Amino acid sequence: MTTGYGITENTSKIYTNLAASELIELAIERNEANLASNGAIVVSTGLRTGRSPKDRFIVKDTITENSVDWNAINQPISPEAFSALWQQADDYIKTKDAYFTSQFSVAAAQQFTIPVMVISELAWQVLFAQNLFIRTHKSDTEKQWTILSTPGFKTNPARDGVNSDAAVILNFSERKILICGTFYAGEMKKAMFSVLNFLLPEHDVLPMHCAANVGKDGETALFFGLSGTGKTTLSADPERYLIGDDEHGWGPHGVFNFEGGCYAKCIDLSKEREPVIWEALRHGAIMENVVIDPVTKDPIYSDSSLTENTRAAYPREHIPLREETNQAGQPKAVIFLTCDLYGVLPPVARLTREQAAYYFLSGYTALVGSTEVGQGSGIKQTFSTCFGAPFFPRPPQVYANLLMKRLDNFPAQVYLVNTGWTGGAYGKGGKRFDIPTTRAIVRAIVNGDLRDADYENLPGFNIAIPKAVKDVDAKLLNPRMNWVNLDEHAENTKLLMNMFIENFKKFNVSDEIVNAGPHL
C-alpha cells in the first residue's frame, strides 16, 4: 500500500504542508540549520555545493527515446534501474524518524500548471521548495509530479548503474524525480526546470533560462545568462517590478514565471551594489553554505571557504517591487548576458534576428563561482547552448526555432551585454565591467534609449555597437579602444572568433544563421 506519492506507508512521522515558520523551527530543532542575525536560516550542503551534472539521468523509454538529445548532459538510464533505485530510496526514507511533504506547482500561468509533491527527509529542503516553487495545496493526480529527495541515501555505481554515490533521475512516464546522495537543494529546482523544458515546446511555449522584469510602463525585459553573469542582480531593479530571476516561459500571450521565489548568489553580496537582494535575506530565507560569524551570527558574504557558490533562496514576497500576477506581456527587450574572459566583446551590442539565433545557440559566457561539482574555483570560459545547456533535454534547434518564432511575431529587440572583461583578458591586465556601468547599459536598453541610438559596426563580429550610452564612458563601448597592446587585442579577437566558429559547427541551421556569426 502506498501513500499516493509513490512512497509505501511506514511508521515514520509524516509532516505535511507545514507553514514556513513551522519548517524553520523544526530545521533548527533537528540541527539541520542555524539562525543568522538577519533572520535567515543557514544550512550546509556538505561536499556537494553545486549541481552534479555527471550524476543527472533521464529514463529512456517510449516517451523520451526519440525526443531527447542524448549526450553527456542528457544521460540515459533504464526504467528498471530507476525503479530499483526508487524502491531503495523508499526503503531508506522509511527508516527516518520523520519526513516532510508539501504540495506546490510550477509554471502556474497561461493554462499550464504542473502540481508537484516534494518529499524529503529534511525540513529545510521542503522550505526551499516552498520558497522556490509556487505555493499551493491543490492536487491533480493526472498531472502531478513527485520529487523524492533523500540526501542521506548514497547510491552504488556498480549496483545501481550510475556514476557516483549521488544521482538525479527524471522519469517522464511516471512523472517522478529521484534525488539521492546530495544535499544541494538547487537540484530540485533545476530538475523541474528540465521537466518544463521538455514539455513546454509541445505547447508552443519557449522555456528560458532567464530572469524577467517589467517597467511601470508595462514593458517587459528578459535577461538570459548562466549563473553568476548577472541575471538575478540586474533583474532585481529598484525601479522595475520583478517577475522572476531564473526560469520563464515565452508563449503567444506573453511571459510567465515558472517559480515563486529567487535563488541568488551571495558571494561578495553588498547592500550598496545589490540592495534588493540584501533586504530579501531575512526571516523565511535560506542561505546555503554562507559562513556566519560564530559570535555575532552575521553573514560573512566575502568568505568563500566552503564554496564560491554561496546561495540564498527566498520567496518573491521578499521583493517589494514585484509583478503580483507572476507574468507580464510580450517583451520589448531581450538581453543575452555574456561574460567574456578575452576582453574583446563590447559591453553592449544590438543583434539582428539571425544574430540573435546564432548567439542564443552559442550561449557564449563563463562558468562563474563553482556552480557545478568538480568545476573548481575561479572562472572558466564556456559555450552553454541556449544559455543553459545542462537543463534542456530536447535538441537545441527546437528552442532556437521557438525563439525565432517569437521574434517574428513580436517586436522584441535583442542585445548582447558583456558583464565580463575589457582592456585585456581575465588575469592578464583586463578589468571587469563594474555593476554601475552594466546597470546604466541595462537602463538604456529597458528605457528604449538604445533602440534608435547611433551605432557603428564592430569588425569581425559584425555586430552593431552604440556610439554613446548615458552615464557610460564612451571609450568603454568599443573594446579595441580600451587595449594598450593592440597586437594582443587582435590575437585575442582571432582566438575567440575561431572558438565561436568551431563550436557552431555542431548545429544544423540555415546559412543565414551561420553567416550571422563572426568572420575572420
Q: Give the CA distances from residue 369 to residues 128, 225, 229, 242, 391, in Å, rounded to whole numbers and listed in that order.
A: 21, 14, 10, 24, 18
Closest residue by Cα to residue 307 from 293, 287, 279: 287
Catalytic site residue from 48, 51, 443, 489 = 51
| pLDDT attached to residue 136 | 77
| pLDDT attached to residue 12 | 75
Round to whole Å and give the CA distance between 254 and 221: 11
Q: Are 326 and 299 in contact (CB under 8 A)?
A: no
Q: What's the grid cell of residue 186?
A: 538547487
Closest residue by Cα to residue 110 from 326, 393, 261: 326
pLDDT classification of 484: cutoffs 50, 70, 90: very high
Q: Is pLDDT above 70 for 453?
A: yes
pLDDT classification of 464: cutoffs 50, 70, 90: very high
Q: Is pLDDT above 70 for 137?
A: no
Residues of the chain with pLDDT > 70, as a percent, come to 94
Q: Are 211 and 77 in contact (CB under 8 A)?
A: no
pLDDT classification of 132: cutoffs 50, 70, 90: very high
Annotation marks residue 480 as catalytic: no
Give the CATH fold of the 263-318 domain.
Answer: Phosphoenolpyruvate Carboxykinase; domain 2 (2.170.8)
Q: Which residue has the cell 517577475?
A: 243
Catalytic site residue from 246, 338, 422, 493 = 246
Q: What is the mean pLDDT of residues 359-371?
A: 85
Q: How many Cβ atoms sit within 10 Å of the Cβ of residue 27? A: 23
pLDDT classification of 228: cutoffs 50, 70, 90: confident
Q: Which DSSP string do the residues of 210-231 spell out, in sequence order?
A: EEEEE-TTS-EEEEE--TTSSH
Q: Is pLDDT above 60 for 116?
A: yes
Round to whole Å and give the CA distance between 154 and 336: 38
| pLDDT attached to residue 112 | 79
Annotation marks residue 232 as catalytic: yes
Round to whole Å and give the CA distance between 193 and 51: 13
Catalytic site residue from 175, 176, 209, 394 = 209
Annotation marks residue 227 as catalytic: yes
Q: Is pLDDT above 80 for 333?
A: yes
Round to whole Å and give the CA distance between 116 and 110: 17
| pLDDT attached to residue 2 | 46
Can you list the alpha helix ranges (DSSP code H) found in 363-460?
396-409, 435-446
Taking only the tens place, the pLDDT of each residue in 30-49 is 999 999 999 999 999 999 99
Round to whole Å and give the CA distance between 96 and 111: 38
Give the range among 130-139, 173-182, 281-290, 478-487 with minimum mean pLDDT: 130-139
Give phi and psi for 285, each to the nearest 5: -85, 155
Q: CA 205 from chain center: how many Å? A: 18
Rg (CA), the chain: 23
| pLDDT attached to residue 1 | 37
pLDDT classification of 367: cutoffs 50, 70, 90: confident
Catalytic site residue from 60, 189, 231, 350 = 231
Catalytic site residue from 190, 240, 248, 318 = 190
Higher pLDDT, 227 or 71: 71
Q: What is the mean pLDDT of residues 89-108?
A: 90
Domain with CATH 3.90.228.20 in the chain: 206-259+325-514
Catalytic site residue from 52, 227, 419, 438 = 227
Round to whole Å and give the CA distance between 120 and 281: 24
Give the range among 48-62, 145-159, 217-231 with minimum mean pLDDT: 217-231
Q: Is pLDDT above 80 for 7?
A: no
Domain with CATH 3.40.449.10 in the chain: 13-32+50-203
Q: Are 499 and 460 in contact (CB under 8 A)?
A: no
Q: Is pLDDT above 70 for 26?
A: yes
Q: Is pLDDT above 50 for 287?
A: yes
- Residue 108 is inside which H or E element, if any? strand 98-109
pLDDT classification of 156: cutoffs 50, 70, 90: very high
Q: What's the grid cell of residue 313?
A: 533562496
Catalytic site residue from 49, 229, 232, 438 = 232
Annotation marks residue 506 as catalytic: no
Q: What is the mean pLDDT of residues 379-407?
A: 95
The CATH classification of domain 206-259+325-514, taken from the options 3.90.228.20, 1.20.120.550, 3.40.718.10, 3.90.1530.10: 3.90.228.20
CATH architecture classification, 13-32+50-203 = 3-Layer(aba) Sandwich (3.40)
Residues of the chain with pLDDT > 90, as a percent, come to 87
| pLDDT attached to residue 520 | 85
Taking only the tens place, the pLDDT of each residue in 306-328 is 999 999 999 999 999 999 999 99
Catalytic site residue from 56, 248, 265, 311 = 311
Q: Is pLDDT above 70 for 369?
A: no
